[in-house]
Structure 1
Amino acid sequence: MGDIVVIGAGQAGASLVAKLRKDGFTGKITLIGEEPVVPYQRPPLSKAYLLGDMALERLFLRPESFYEENDIDLLLSAPVDVIDRTGKAVIAGGRKIPYDQLALTTGSVPRRLPAAIGGDLQGVHVVRTLADVDRMAPAVVEGARALIVGGGYIGLEAAAVCAKRGVKVTLVEMSERILQRVAAPETSDYFRALHTGHGVDIREGIGLERLLGEEGRVTGAVLADGSTLDVDFVVVGVGITPATALAEAAGLEIENGIKVDARGRTSDPSIWAAGDCASFPHADGRLRLESVPNAIDMAECVAGNMLGGETDYVPKPWFWSDQYDVKLQIAGLNTGYDRIVSRPGEGQSASFWYFKGDQLLAVDAMNDPRAYMVGKRLIDAGKTADPDRVGDPAVDLKALMRA
């Protein structure tokens, strides 16, 4: 099998190299990362870690000793300069590293505000890496004033943490409602009520015109409706884009990410891709998923195929978000839904079920793990549920599985 090089030391990269060794690969493995720390979990960064409830070491996916014990050459603080497809080598950290097979697990990068509207001012933060959160943490103190730009899950999670720390939070969303791109109005309504109940000022249908600053640091904001805000820091949560720059420079095919076939192989037969950066065939088109489960599952599938397997990647999408004391769990993909069935629960629990015709597509479950698990099992099995029975709280959830 020769030498294998993996570019990108995040969840997908760490999962891929671990799977290679688990499946018996004995050749040389090099895992290359830009950051100075071993691969770590990203979801807790903006929640438990920022709140001080999780120590740095608990973020690590595996201890550094794992890579030594499994003879994985972990090259950190080493951004890759170029992929030489002809010579089958990468240049990173001043080293030329040859490969027989190469895997790209480069992940994604956060969208930033343009410098023309103040995006380059000090105190304007994105939430993606450990360094991003470490830079932001000193500002998140009681009495500070924060502007959150973007009402998707990243922005809402940041708003929740800031509010819990006693920060005065204003969140602006250019679309008509928060979560408009990713969730039904019912889910938006649920989380709007949750956040306003915790003192967050949510302003929908209002964009950011520009940020104001003094001596290079952000001090305020002008919104599209002409209103102004005094702010001490800004959190930008306006989405992420696949990290494809290396792949593009190397001449690989790009289509909403690095284009791969059903087994994870790129347009170069010696190069593979997995995780946030990769788009793969799905249904009538292509799909790119931004989630931890996808990063793990796709990376492990690709690892098997790099060792001679012939397994198509079939995603079983699920996602989660933690905000205050509410855990949102999402099963399936809601694209193309035409009907929402609401199922009330006790207290803050509820679930919203997405249907296209009579076919169940997805479930949003808030503090309702039973609804999530039933919905996920149905969706993973390609089954559906009677919408009328779903919406009837007198019908036991387990009965939906038996129907």
Structure 2
Amino acid sequence: MQEFINEAFTDFSNDLHANEMKRAIEEVRKQLGKSYVNYIGGQAITKDETFASINPSNKEELIGQFPKATTDDVTLAIEAASKHFETWSKTPASQRAQFLFDAATLMRKRKHWFSAWMMFETGKTWVEADADTAEAIDFMEFYAREMLRLSKGQELTKIPGEDNELSYRPLGVGAIIPPWNFPLAICVGMTTAALVCGNTVVLKPSSDSPTVAYHFVELMREVGLPEGVLNFVTGSGSQVGDHLVSHPKIRFISFTGSREVGLRVNELAAKTHPEQKWIKRLVAEMGGKDAIVVDEGTDVDEVSTGIVAAAFGFQGQKCSACSRAIIHESMYDQVVSAVIEKTKKITIGDPTDRQTQFGPVISSRAFEKIKEYIEIG
């Protein structure tokens, strides 16, 4: 098997690639406004009560309409995942890995199509969306290879009179709660990592990016992933999310999001219930306030370019964004002046436009919060 190689980013200076992306954008534009379903145990579920996913660049444009799942729906999804865990966990690692390889191959063929959905639903520019899709492909390719490696066991120190071995076992049903800011990459990464290890999951995407997650679920169905292994529910975090992470049959939780929500997930997961057999395992990646430190003697042009790119890439909506610049007093005036001048040159606009470098923030909530920080400054 070929060694893992990161998926290449698309060179949009090549007219062939640029035109392919333009066609994908127009194809997706024609598909906006549809109603979607949840999947529980392989069955498509609709609800009378729904919520809308809206284009942050155009509040009048509907991306998709989604069911508002109830706590009963979540319970059914967990029960379905628990039932199918019995067979999925016993499926050979090589077969589980093959589903990821197949999905990565198919996503690669539809790379621009997935990227276009992110432009419309989350306001990612061409470059940001392309990188997100590439990372999603990377996760599947890498995790599949790692599963094949781990399934072979591990060499242990030989001790006379002892016969020891080390093997890895699937945990059970996992709750996967990805963020909206990497709606494909992190969603795919957290979900497929759990699946390839023999776990079954209930995926609850952010209400700001359910359409991207839905198309990933459809991709997994298309490559033949057994029904009930990947269950998909949409709805509010306060209702659906709380019930999901609190349920006694949830064995582990993979969460990426805000510190506030992450701490709540941690609190709920730590509480045990009478019918609960295990202590839940939680993987939580939460937001931070990253800094770039500028020492004296630094190249002003280089560091100011880096600060602007890190601070304003995807409108600064990343846990890795530069939220602070800590600058040596001897460099302060020069660096701040250069950052201001370069920031003024950023092209703001619709992310489906190739020239746009800075699109919308995800929601009115985010917009108001940013205004508060500006006032503080």
Q: TM-score, normalization: structure 1?
A: 0.24
Q: Which has the larger share of strand? A: 1
Structure holding more helix per residue:
2
TM-score of the superposed pair, with normalisation by structure 2: 0.25
